[in-house]
Amino acid sequence: MEHKQDQAFPKDFLWGSASAAYQIEGAWDADGKGPSVWDNFVKIPGTTYEGTNGDVAVDHYNRYKEDVKLMADAGLKAYRFSIAWSRIFPTGKGEVNEAGLQFYDNLIDELLKYDIEPLVTLYHWDIPQALMDEYGGWESRKVIEDFTNYSVALFKRYGGRVKYWVSLNEQNIFVSLGYSMALHPPKVTDDKRMYQVNHIANLANASVINAFHEIVKDGKIGPSFAYTPFYPVDTDPKNVLAAENAEDLNSHFWMDIYAWGVYPKAVWRYLEENDLAPTVEPGDMELLASAKPDFMGLNYYQSATAAHNPLDGVGQSNTFNTTGKKGTSEETGIPGLYKKVKNPYVKTTDWDWTIDPDGLHIALRRIASRYQLPILITENGLGAFDKLEDGEVHDAYRIDYLSSHVGAIQAAINDGVDMLGYCTWSFTDLLSWLNGYQKRYGFVYVDRDISDDAPMTRIPKDSFYWYKKVIETNGKEL
């Protein structure tokens, strides 16, 4: 909608930024930490760009005070970070590692010292390797109890200081890339297993949300979902239906469960017909329906466009553009449902991700109208080849990207969407899971490349100072 006058951003709007433990901390085996699946997966040749890994990452574990001081200098109101499960419980359960708890105590206290609201993510893809070895990780219902016990330990330790929590980060990504596309651990291509893993993860998410509401009475918790809104390529009803199929299968299938505890009927029928439906045991649906998130977390990077795809049409591609060479992505689709096609109205990044701020506006409208929940944008950002020139990084392209997306949030607020905050991805440069250190997202340049033997010097980019002004003016100056 177009409005004559903008509504102001809420006074307590959480202008923030985000990260994940494996991508920034390093110290992969320090102070009693156990290995996660990612610590082992990256050692398999060919799994990551040029063999990069997070053993050292950007050394946040040892430099967190320096990083938090930079956050304070930027004026951040919030910082979203994840806790490494195997840093707290080295084998995923059993005896707690006090040194791990103390690290996050220190990080939280450092943030609060500068009046930065800590937003804690319980799970950002790094399940302890010990649980994978013992019972297959997310493939076993045993993980529900272990994940809940781990989460409860965090709620009890930090709940008095941390009011905003994310349960699972991008469940749709870690189950599909791990169990369907074999791009993440455990490197499996088995859709039947993927949907079973996904159902178990849904149960774990519900269990944790219920536990949270029992323990942290004045806090808020919700999942973080990677939403890619689909458009039909044109007004041909077959293509409109293809876009509906894509929305149902890729988005409603997760968010409907989070909000209501039900699977979309059309998707469930598709799963049953193709022998992909997970096993649902007595009590499962009751548990899913009982868990009520306080907000919907949204990770938004791009939109997608769909067209009709017959039963003998294009199948799924398991190849991503991880090189940054534009135009190297492969055609992909699901026969009988939809296929992805190019959108001539939007530009793309070097990694073939569409740049579509209007898509964020559309995403916010769709989520708000369908689920009637407040929305916290938990990730949004631009990965690019940043260049350090004479000690500076002039990333006007990132400013353009972020400015247009903040403008989309403004448009959504004008439309009545209840927005809690905006966390960019990311504050510092960090390890991209499959793209190494070449694909940079941060406001702060970190002087490292493939080699861990690097200075790791922190250098604020032009976008750092732009965001500082946005925060100071509460979104009035973009």
What amino acid positions are annotated as catalytic residues? Answer: 379
Cα 315 to Cα 460: distance, rounded to the nearest angstrom: 43
Yes or no: say if 338 and 243 are a contact pair by the CB < 8 Å rule.
yes
Give Cα separations from 293 to 65, 267, 296, 322, 449 (angstroms). 32, 23, 7, 34, 39
Yes or no: say if 463 and 405 are a contact pair by the CB < 8 Å rule.
no
- Candidates 256, 282, 283; CA nearest to 268 is 256
Which residues in 342-475 belong to E strands, given as ranges?
347-348, 354-355, 375-379, 419-425, 444-446, 458-460
Cα 72 to Cα 69: distance, rounded to the nearest angstrom: 5
3-class SS at 193?
Answer: helix
Q: Are strands 333-334 and 78-82 parallel, antiparallel or unpaired?
A: unpaired
Backbone angles phi, psi at 255, to 5 degrees: -70, -30
3-state helix, strand, coil in the chain (%, to 5): 40, 15, 45
